[in-house]
Structure 1
């Protein structure tokens, strides 16, 4: 392969031209160093050198090509030697794409990766942007109003509540995330719920993919591909993952914030004469947690809008030890949030009231959830209201 020109090297390295600084380094040396530092950052995050393999992220493949070019040039290595504290320039295991494609010139290398350099004018070079990035951006933009958004609204409200209470966390992405049904991500400032993951299929190059159904907190939906969502998340530097409820403190023997370390999960069924209750009495349950007497708590239920202004039957009691009651209650409500009963009644003064903790869930599924909380497998399940049961996620 012939020695590439300066412009071709800059194109291949994908480095933006910067203003000349007052340091002793030349502009060209600064460009080389900046490009190398991006490779070093990749190594720090993933504890390995980038590889140019077909199933790898497009930026990793660019970094691998960049590293191969740097290793081939004595000029580059002499500039970078003092910065190479990771020994990247001497790692023989790094895939050398140039050696495996002797007949390709630099422009053909980029074309094979489906990458086109974007230049605003003859002298200003911008970062390369792949055709894949453009496709992902277009697919992400193709969103439509979610016709049944009310079905998901409570999920987003509960997520914000859980984050505020410390039950869930919003964490930055350190690597390309796995995508599973029931997960929440923050993408471009919007919370995205993975409502469904379709059947997997094989893309070109043998890459597994699947069609997703994603609902966003602004009332829109998307049917983008799983790989496209992964790419969109890596493109967004502010993207975050919303974690599942943390079970660790739930069974912590240490008492925190004055909370006692034992409690009772109770399940109630209402005797209300409201039509929706009468028609679904065996499916509508109130789920709560208390450290005291259940009988005392419900003694005035007929005058309490929390209990639908009616007497209630206790249909389930489950005693748990060494738990954090507050976290337990939030966890249960989070599990059954998709089946929350939305109802408004009037209290004894005629004021409207929206009771909480009532769910359209069969008793057997509540019992199943509690067993899974006890054996700590609950995070592997989510409640599917369309099937009226817990399903593995």
Structure 2
């Protein structure tokens, strides 16, 4: 078979002022799209976007994305030809990769805010890491950003005591999506939960709801984009999964029951650490079947399915390892065939 020639990158065919082009990758494609929007902003305003109190939502989001490009420039060699203003490769990034808005604090490390009080310790510490299935959420971020920039959706100041599954927020100029809510419990006397939070820079975190709420209140420019009127955001896009599972607990009251729920992430992630979560009865589980979600947010689909299964619902009380009592929902006394029928009816 004759050798295929890449006429775009063959160095023998390039003129003296041309350079070989780097192969496009999904990451590079996203970076190119971001720098084009930043350049358009500079064309309009004559200045780089800045993320600081008092600036507009669009500007703060662009400033955050610019900081992300500067911090990741070592992995974006192919972006240099698009950096016509030397915004990224013409200077040293001042961004501190450890400057995470979710863990930052203005206090000196030796400064104590009032009297020290005993606090509940988290079962594990939230971290920021690359989101392995970000392609599933990327289109949602793009659509949310376009509706905000086009004036179709107006972000509102944050005035909530908790956040809900599926909501979008602007925090420190970055769009944040609550993709999953799990392990609801009480912490320091208040309802709390473990979240799966996706950020528009392709990372995610498993922080507590109380931590996210606190950071949203601390940022005076934080905004709630919410989910109201979000219908078209989910049309045709894979938005998550419905799962049906059985507990491996040996308690008699659990026998014959199935748990039916939804998740915006992977089912494997959702049931990981099941033995540490009250919603899974602090026991391992067996996943019987999963269904792909399209056209519905995970939260909306769950509400519809649970309404269809209401007559089979069974309320459970479970005692945690620390002796506390929890209510466990989403459990139903039904067969897998009956559950499948209810899912088809609810989502038809």
Compute the TM-score of the two structures, normalised by the length of structure 2.
0.34
Compute the TM-score of the two structures, normalised by the length of structure 1.
0.31
Bigger-Rg structure (1/2):
1
